[in-house]
């Protein structure tokens, strides 16, 4: 079973916002006292945070799907829904966050560094917030927005001051175990180390971290052996230590050829990296130390004497050490401490990242209408932040909510955009991206005689608040009384003239 994972594919989903509430306050003597539906709560964010106690991405290897909690629903009596809790995911120091296409979006270095991987959705407005002079008691509320959904790749690049590199079984694990409190697995066969090991070394006033990188072989920069899986762990180090086996059993190997091969693999890997920031020294220009290990053995001592002059041509410090007898380890630890301090002093002081504000352009359109083929015919797709968000917030089972959406779209100018694009009554219109779009047959708002109509849900006849005076009321009453008396007089005249017949007699007056 895997115990160390340094690259995972993680799917994160922010919490959905809570729906708003549609409610009417009811009090004694006030059965309809006005809307009191509250807003829904905001969904929680998914946050990546560097944690000192986390050293691997193993947890997300087993649980690649992470979702934050959603916001609570709004209630009546103006009781707002609770906000969802943020989901904080601990990651190791040195984690790089990229998109699936390899685009780097965050480099998490430093304990406590945070990155919002997926934002929670906003809560829907209740009918109390939607009330206006024209719509005093809305019978609907807006739905909460879904949380942001993203697929990210997390890649761990070990943050260490010193990296031990070399062939398998060169003694790197034995060195880190002898110089620090790290206890890696040690055995007499190649590729014993399958994961990077970190240790802390204290040499006088110097304190630094040292990493044991798994063994490299020819072709490692192309992925052979453990290859690219662990070459990334040397990118952040200040000092490289080439651990050479001076007592190798293979007849075709010697410390000089081993060093040349490892340097060529490092150079090939460094060439494939993206351009480094100005604050980071290129990999092949960083301080390096050559360590001839296993010189406590007779064969190791003889080989060290033979190759020391050839290695001295590279102008790198050369030390004879032995992890077993601890020969030369004190000198090595102090030398590495001095090199690390010099590298740290050469780094510029960290500056806080500037806050970049990108205002939206004044002429930027809030939506666009594009023509495309849909279901064998021509359709018009509306794209834009506002229309897509409004559609997500609409409860299409409520006619009033649909009418409110239509008003918002018309006010934004969507109907004019559809007219300009060539849409006619009955055209297929889609709002939103991909298969999640809302599809409907477009019915444009009437324009003939529309100037006599008020806003949706209103009637201009109800807006006439004129109250007649007492004299006007008396004149109207007199006119109605006179008209009634005239009708009665005409009916009496008709009766006297014999126009009215007695229903109890026949036509000639006989019963």
| Binding-site sequence positions for Mg(2+) | 173, 193
Q: Alpha-carbon Rg of the chain, whole angstroms?
A: 41
Question: E strands of 93-179, at which residues?
Answer: 95-98, 104-108, 114-118, 149-156, 162-165
CA dihedral 276, 227, 201, 169 (to 10 degrees): -150
| Inter-CA distances, 33 with 30, 305, 388, Å | 5, 98, 34
Question: E strands of 21-109, at which residues?
Answer: 46-50, 65-67, 87-91, 95-98, 104-108
Q: How many Cβ atoms from other residues are within 10 Å of residue 358's Cβ?
A: 5
> Which residues participate in the annotated binding site?
166-173, 191-195, 212-215, 293-296, 322-324
* CA–CA separation, 288 and 242 (whole Å): 7
Q: 243 and 193 in contact (C-beta within 8 Å)?
A: no
From the list 142, 143, 141, 133, the residue with the least C-alpha distance to 457 is 133
* CA–CA separation, 156 and 213 (whole Å): 13
Q: 121 and 146 in contact (C-beta within 8 Å)?
A: yes
> Which residues participate in the annotated binding site for GTP?
166-173, 191-195, 212-215, 293-296, 322-324
Q: 121 and 197 in contact (C-beta within 8 Å)?
A: no
Two tokens, residue 317: 């410090």
Residue 326, CA atoms < 13 Å, CB-side half-sphere = 6
Burial of residue 106, with CB atoms counted within 10 A of its CB: 0-12 exposed, 13-18 middle, 19 or more buried: middle
Element (H, E) at 269: helix 255-272
Q: 213 and 228 in contact (C-beta within 8 Å)?
A: no
């Amino acid at each position: 079973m895997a115990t160390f994972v340094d690259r995972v594919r993680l799917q994160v989903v922010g919490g959905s916002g809570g729906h708003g509430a549609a409610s009417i306050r009811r009090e004694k003597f006030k059965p309809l006292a006005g809307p009191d539906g509250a807003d829904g709560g905001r969904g929680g964010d998914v946050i990546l945070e560097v944690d000192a106690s986390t050293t691997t991405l193993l947890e997300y290897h087993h649980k690649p799907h992470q979702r934050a909690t959603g916001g609570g629903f709004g209630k009546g009596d103006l009781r707002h829904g609770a906000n969802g809790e943020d989901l904080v995911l601990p990651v190791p120091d040195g984690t790089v966050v990229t998109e699936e296409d390899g685009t780097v979006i965050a480099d998490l270095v430093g304990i406590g560094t945070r990155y919002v991987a997926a934002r929670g959705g906003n809560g829907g407005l209740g009918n109390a917030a939607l009330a206006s002079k024209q719509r005093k008691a809305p019978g609907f509320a807006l739905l909460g927005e879904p949380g942001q959904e993203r697929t990210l790749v997390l890649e761990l690049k070990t943050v260490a001051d010193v990296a031990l590199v070399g062939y398998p079984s060169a003694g790197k694990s034995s060195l880190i175990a002898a110089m620090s409190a790290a206890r890696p697995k040690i055995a007499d066969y190649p590729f014993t180390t399958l994961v990077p090991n970190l240790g802390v070394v204290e040499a006088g006033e110097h304190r630094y971290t040292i990493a044991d990188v798994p063994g490299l072989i020819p072709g490692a920069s192309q992925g052979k052996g453990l290859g690219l899986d662990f070459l990334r762990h040397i990118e952040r180090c200040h000092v490289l230590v080439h651990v050479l086996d001076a007592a190798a059993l293979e007849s075709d190997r010697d410390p000089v050829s081993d060093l040349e091969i490892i340097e060529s693999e490092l150079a090939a890997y460094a060439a494939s990296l993206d351009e480094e920031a100005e604050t980071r020294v290129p990999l092949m220009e960083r301080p390096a130390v050559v360590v001839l290990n296993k010189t406590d053995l007779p064969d190791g001592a003889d080989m060290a004497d033979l190759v020391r002059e050839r290695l001295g041509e590279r102008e790198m410090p050369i030390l004879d050490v032995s992890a077993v007898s601890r020969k030369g380890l004190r000198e090595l630890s102090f030398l590495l401490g001095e090199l690390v301090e010099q590298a740290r002093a050469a780094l510029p002081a960290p500056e806080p990242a500037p806050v970049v504000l990108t205002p939206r352009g004044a002429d930027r359109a809030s939506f666009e209408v594009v023509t495309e083929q849909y279901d064998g015919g021509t359709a018009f797709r509306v794209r834009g932040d506002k229309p897509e968000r409004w559609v997500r917030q609409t409860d299409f089972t409520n006619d009033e909510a649909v009418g409110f959406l239509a008003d918002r779209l018309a006010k934004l100018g969507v109907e004019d955009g559809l007219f300009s694009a060539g849409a006619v009554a009955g055209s297929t219109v889609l709002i939103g991206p991909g298969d999640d779009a809302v599809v409907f047959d477009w019915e444009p708002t009437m324009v003939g005689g529309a100037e006599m109509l008020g806003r949706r849900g209103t009637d201009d006849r109800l807006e006439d608040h004129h109250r007649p005076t007492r004299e006007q009321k008396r004149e109207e009453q007199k006119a109605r009384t006179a008209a009634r008396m005239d009708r009665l007089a005409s009916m009496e005249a008709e009766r006297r003239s014999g126009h009215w017949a007695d229903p109890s007699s026949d036509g000639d007056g006989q019963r």
